[in-house]
């Protein structure tokens, strides 16, 4: 049987895995705020230490974590170059034609790259790697539930997410089957120019749409037969409880934020605006 790699969730036991999904969403947001609060070299050093601590606490293999940065290399280089050339300071370290590079430019380039890396690692470690998609969906639903007062369809949104997650593997498997069937009827997906390739998709997309609609229809009927009437009056099997560890994590994160603010005020070395 082919296993379809799905999502980034990495199933191991770790202190971070055990945290409540809602708390992890809040932690991730706070962590993002912290990365933007960082101004000077001390802060960024603290940030790097924090990121390493998170990797250690998540029990994830370093390689897996670092791989998540790879798609962002281009953006990082781009940002670094921009900061390098566009930040002006007092005395240029290097000058050639109209290009002047200042010490400040180097600092802000490095800071930006660190910020992006830590940002991606942080959200990954708190959310996608350590939280199942379903727990994440429930967490978002729970955090957004106050919005129900202003008629935001929070439950419906979460239900859509759940169903989408449930059917992604089913539909990707089906796409493979339809592709094979049409290949057997002589379609070649690798041949010809752009238009020809686009046309070759029609025999895939139409059956896939038809089948998706049929599935949606049948699923709706099955859900009605299981007494689904929307979010009203619905209970949940697992009501998440906050544990001491969740509060500890929250306190640590707030303390970390306060620490960053304190380090900013020390004003050591170059400080990004």
Q: Does 173 bind another protein (CB under 8 A)?
A: yes
Question: Measured from the CB of residue 57, what is the shortest distance to another protein in angstroms?
Answer: 23
- Check: CB of residue 189 under 8 Å from CB of residue 200: yes
Which listed residue (143, 215, 257, 271) binds another protein by CB under 8 A?
A: 215
Question: Measured from the CB of residue 193, what is the shortest distance to another protein in angstroms?
Answer: 17
139 Cβ neighbours under 8 A, 6+ residues apart:
20, 21, 22, 24, 25, 131, 240
Binding region for another protein (CB under 8 A) out of 15-23, 70-78, 149-157, 227-235: 227-235
Q: Does 139 bind another protein (CB under 8 A)?
A: no
Q: Cα 215 to chain center, whole Å? A: 29
In whole angstroms, give the CA distance from residue 102 to residue 87. 7
Which listed residue (12, 77, 160, 163) binds another protein by CB under 8 A?
A: 163
Binding region for another protein (CB under 8 A) out of 35-43, 61-69, 82-90, 204-212: 204-212
Q: Does 196 bind another protein (CB under 8 A)?
A: no
Binding region for another protein (CB under 8 A) out of 29-37, 60-68, 71-79, 183-191: 183-191
Which listed residue (70, 98, 151, 236) binds another protein by CB under 8 A?
A: 236
Q: Does 134 bind another protein (CB under 8 A)?
A: yes
In whole angstroms, give the CA distance from residue 232 to residue 154. 11
Of residues 110 and 201, the one with the C-beta less far from another protein: 201
Question: Measured from the CB of residue 173, what is the shortest distance to another protein in angstroms?
Answer: 7
Q: Does 203 bind another protein (CB under 8 A)?
A: yes
- Check: CB of residue 148 under 8 Å from CB of residue 107: no
Q: Does 57 bind another protein (CB under 8 A)?
A: no
Q: How far is CA 212 from CA 133, 205, 226, in A?
A: 22, 10, 21
- Check: CB of residue 43 under 8 Å from CB of residue 266: no
Binding region for another protein (CB under 8 A) out of 13-21, 84-92, 114-122, 205-213: 205-213
- Check: CB of residue 89 under 8 Å from CB of residue 103: yes
Which of these, 108, 105, 117, lies nearest to 40 by C-alpha position? 108
Q: Count the helices and strands in the chain (H runs, E runs).
A: 11, 2
Which of these, 146, 181, 136, lies nearest to 25 by C-alpha position? 136
In whole angstroms, give the CA distance from residue 36 to residue 52. 18
Residues that bind another protein (CB under 8 A): 1-4, 132-134, 162-163, 165-166, 169-170, 173-174, 177-178, 180-188, 202-203, 206-207, 210-211, 214-215, 218-219, 221-229, 233-239
């Amino acid at each position: 049987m082919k296993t379809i790699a799905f999502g980034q969730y990495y199933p191991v036991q770790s202190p971070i895995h055990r945290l409540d999904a809602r708390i992890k969403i809040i932690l991730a947001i706070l962590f993002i705020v912290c990365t933007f609060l960082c101004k000077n070299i001390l802060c960024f050093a603290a940030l790097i230490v924090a990121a390493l601590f998170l990797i250690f606490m998540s029990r994830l293999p370093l390689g897996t974590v670092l791989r998540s940065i790879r798609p962002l290399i281009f953006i990082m280089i781009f940002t670094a170059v921009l900061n390098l050339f566009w930040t002006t300071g007092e005395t240029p370290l290097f000058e050639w034609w109209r290009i002047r590079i200042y010490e400040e430019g180097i600092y802000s380039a490095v800071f930006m790259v660190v910020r992006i890396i830590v940002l991606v690692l942080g959200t990954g470690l708190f959310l996608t790697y350590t939280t199942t998609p379903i727990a994440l969906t429930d967490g978002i639903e729970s955090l957004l539930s106050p919005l129900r007062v202003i008629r935001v369809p929070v439950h419906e949104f979460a239900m859509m997410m759940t169903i989408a997650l449930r059917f992604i593997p089913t539909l990707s498997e089906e796409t493979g089957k339809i592709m094979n069937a049409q290949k057997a009827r002589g379609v070649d997906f690798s041949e010809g120019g752009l238009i020809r390739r686009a046309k070759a998709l029609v025999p895939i997309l139409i059956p896939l749409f038809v089948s998706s609609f049929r599935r949606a229809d049948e699923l709706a009927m099955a859900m009605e037969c299981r007494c689904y009437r929307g979010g009203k009056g619905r209970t949940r099997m697992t009501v998440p409880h906050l544990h001491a560890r969740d509060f500890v994590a929250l306190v640590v994160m707030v303390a970390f934020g306060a620490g960053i603010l304190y380090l900013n005020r020390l004003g050591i070395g170059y400080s990004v605006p």
